[in-house]
Structure 1
Amino acid sequence: MSRLRIQARLAARGVDVDLAVDEGRVLAVLGPNGVGKSTLLSLVAGLLRPDCGRICLGDVVLADTDAGTFVAPHRRGVALLSQQALLFPHLTVAANVAYGPRCAGLSRSAARAAADRWLAAVEATDLAERKPAQLSGGQAQRVALARALATEPRLLLLDEPLSALDVTAAPAMRRLLRTMLRARRRTAIIVTHDLLDALAVADDVAVIEDGRVVEHGPAREVLTTPRSDFAARIAGINLVAGRIVRPGTIRTAWGTEISGTGDLEPGTDAVALCRPSAVAVFTTIPHGSPRNMVPVSIAEMEVHGETVRIRADTQPDGGTGLAADVTATAVADLELEPGATAYFVVKAQEVQLYPAGAVSG
């Protein structure tokens, strides 16, 4: 069993958390900077001791202040993957991944076999003999994931694993994480600021504010009907459901086709995700390079600082209306107002395609 239960307080950091992660579930932890997200991971990993409380992983008590129990980090069956890969620079990729199995007592040949297996799992076999200095950021993070998984952890902790990657490497790593975590039913916690990470990778979402959990539930529910201030601010990612009709293209139940990036087979039930900031708004049919275009009727407009969020009517299947973030100047120039017809346009590379089950919550 690998169900996590944490009830712990750390006064110096203003953290007092009460949270559970069921076995085989992936929990995304969201919240503003400095509210205790990384502290939560450190408490679970054993890098910090709680002032009071109890932390259990399955039937093993990792920490219990009343009983004086505190299991050392290396004995917890927990692996932590941070923003930086932190690979041993003097070792090859294969030796980095084999390090954990060797420390667990495996022979050199058995550890190398385990390393080969996990490098294949993260599609990095061709990197085995390289040194970390020869890797790109995305490659290094793949190797770091393989190294973490090679220890066969009962619980995987990920602290902003995609934040240091560039925009071209992050989508591929996100898809890999979804496969390695959700498809293989691993128990994991991922701390992230990116809504796409939460929707694509996590089953559940917890929002932390001021060191306490203020919202917790299925990812789709929390992020489409938020109850906390922070979740409400970041919610609004565009999500369109349909089915893959050809590689890179989804067709909705009402016939609209949307192109994006993602390696899905035709016939797969899928969703297309994109940020409102990636959507351009036109009042006439645009011409030029091939782009996704969806005619909409504007339902409402909300001002967020210097940005105006344009929200379209509810989608034909009842899904939340699509959103676009534009400047106040654009609103004035285009004479946008509720009830007006507009065209939402987004480039295919700004759209991510995922299996429908990946964001079902």
Structure 2
Amino acid sequence: MAVSLLAGEVSDLCLGKPALRFLSISATVGDALSALKRFGDNYISVWNCDNRHDCVGKVCMVDIICFLCKEENLSNPGTALQAPVSVLIPKAPGLVRHLEPKASLVEGIDLILEGAQNLVIPLEIGNRNSRKKLLQKTVSNSTLHNSSQYCWLTQEDIIRYLLNSIGLFCPTPINPINSLDIIDAQNILAVHYDDPASLALPFIARSHEMQTSVAIVDRDGKLIGEISPFTLNSCDEDVVAAIATLSAGDLMAYIDCGGPPEDIVQLVKERLQERNLEQALELMEEDSEISSGASFSSSYSSSSDEEFGVGRSWRSGGYSARVVRRSEAIVCYPWSSLVAVMIQALAHRVSYVWVVEEDGTLAGIVTFAGMMKVFREHLRTMA
């Protein structure tokens, strides 16, 4: 039964998924920022329209934030925004892969286990007349690319699909995770609470690529919070100034949904002035041209908010440590069952769960990819 389930087509998981809008590889970082703000999207697909019409990657606010946080860009963010959008696309190959609708779910899982973050699946538009009507209807907000539409298939989509049929894999899902060899204790990205937030930048970029997070620990190695790319993706670009000036602990407070405490905002401004980063200070001004996006070109298309359905900014209700304890990391224990950890991750819309010992010491992390590996091995034993 489990074998037949995973032999199903990936198109089965695409039902109801919204089509991607797109951004050309010839666009700028400013175009990407403007697109994300205008449409309220979490991610936007980037396409090479010259020859093969391939999706070459995706970008989001985290990519823009990490780019603007570079020392040379902090002093002149306006110039940085004119850089080609290609500078935001990770150099690691295979993070975004194309897959045909009739491909099996096993093929999709194998691509993710090879390192893919997202799978790009063509959607059925219909006959030529309906396609023509769609093109006319969406001419200013088009999801058509080379006369076709596409959607993302994410790791979360697959895990949710597997959970809905979890009984077919018993008894594996009820086993503790420490018996399944999926606790990763080697690739933990962590900084101390009092460390400068800027020290976490390489880890933020890496965790974004790995679809994990950056742990915040105390001097005894106990987990006390996290800097999550998911949380940063709900922020505006003014968080760049906070990363450049605050400690890791203060940054967690800054990115809370209700807005950062006024004393921390003032501290950021003072430190920017001390470093003569006047242009970075402009990123914090609510009515600035950069923040409003008024100066950016509108010659783009953008992906819809298909992944999480939440606002982009904390001002419009992003995740928060104050509201849902978003900075307080989601944790499990080595003896937690696989199915319990799956439910935890899906309930909190994250692709990982931290593993801690009984005293709170950080022991490792469990990811969606690690979970999928277990189900893939289960199938091999049944073959």
Structures share a fold, TM > 0.5? no
1 or 2, which has the higher helix percentage? 2
The TM-score normalised by the length of structure 2 is: 0.22
Structure holding more strand per residue: 1
Larger Rg: 1
Using structure 1 for the length normalisation, give the TM-score: 0.23
